[in-house]
Chain A
Amino acid sequence: MTHRSRNCRAAISAPARPRPGGLAAILLLVFLAGFLAPVAQGEYQIEVIKQDVIAIRLPPLGGSEGAEATRILTQDLEQSGLFRIVASGGDHGIEGSASASGCQCKVFKSDGTLELTASGSGDLRRAVHRVADEIVAKLTGRKGIAQTRIAFISDKSGKKGLYVMDYDGAKVQGFGTSYSMVVAPAFSRQGDKIAFTAYRPVYPDVLVMPYPGGKAQAVSTYPGLNSGASFSPDGSRLALTLSKDGNPEIYTLSAGGGGLKRLTTTRGGESSPTWSPDGKRIAYASDEGGRPQIHIIPSSGGRGARLTSSPAYNTEPDWSAESGLIAYSSMRGGGFVISTINPEEEKHEGDVVYADGSCEDPSWAPDGRHLVFSRTVDGHSDLYMLDTYRKEAVQLTRDFGNCTQPAWSGR
Chain B
Amino acid sequence: MKFVHTCWLLSAALALLIGGCKGPEGEPTTIGPGTRIDENGEIITSVDAGDMSPPEDQRVSTSGGVDRGKFEAIRFDYDSAVVRQEDRAKLEEIARWAKENSSGKLIIEGHCDERGTPEYNRALGQRRALAARAYLLKLGISAKRISTVSYGEDRPVELAHEAEAWTKNRRAEFGVTQ
Which residues of A are at the interface with B, using a C-beta cutoff of 8 A? 160, 181, 183-184, 199-205, 217-225, 227-228, 241, 243-248, 253-254, 256-263, 265, 267-272, 285, 287, 289-292, 301, 312-313, 315-316, 329, 331, 334, 336, 360-361, 379, 404-405
* A267, B25: Cα distance in complex, Å: 11
Of the residues B19, B29, B40, B130, contact of A243 by C-beta under 8 Å? B130
In the complex, are the beta carbons of A315 and B120 less than 8 A apart? Answer: yes
Of the residues B18, B45, B49, contact of A222 by C-beta under 8 Å? B49
In the complex, are the beta carbons of A225 and B8 less than 8 A apart? Answer: no
Q: At the interface, yes or no: B178 with Cβ under 8 Å from chain A?
A: no
* A360, B121: Cα distance in complex, Å: 13
- Chain B 1-35 residues near chain A, CB threshold 8 A: 1, 3-4, 7-8, 10-11, 14-15, 18-19, 21-23, 25-34
- Annotate B26-60 by CB proximity to A: 1 below 8 A, 0 otherwise: 11111111101010101011111100010111110
Between A183, A258, A261, the greatest number of chain B beta carbons within 10 A of the residue's beta carbon is seen for A258
Which residues of B are at the interface with A, using a C-beta cutoff of 8 A? 1, 3-4, 7-8, 10-11, 14-15, 18-19, 21-23, 25-34, 36, 38, 40, 42, 44-49, 53, 55-59, 62, 66, 79, 81, 107, 115-120, 122-124, 126-127, 130, 147-152, 154, 161
Enumerate chain B residues within 8 angstroms of A329, measured Cβ to Cβ: 117
Enumerate chain B residues within 8 angstroms of A257, measured Cβ to Cβ: 33, 45-46
Enumerate chain A residues within 8 angstroms of B120, measured Cβ to Cβ: 269, 271-272, 285, 287, 292, 315-316
Mind listing 23 A-B residue pairs with CB under 8 Å? A200-B40, A203-B149, A204-B149, A219-B45, A221-B36, A223-B48, A225-B122, A246-B21, A247-B23, A248-B127, A259-B32, A259-B33, A260-B31, A260-B46, A265-B26, A270-B123, A271-B123, A272-B119, A272-B120, A312-B3, A312-B4, A316-B117, A360-B118
* A199, B34: Cα distance in complex, Å: 21
In the complex, are the beta carbons of A247 and B18 less than 8 A apart? Answer: yes
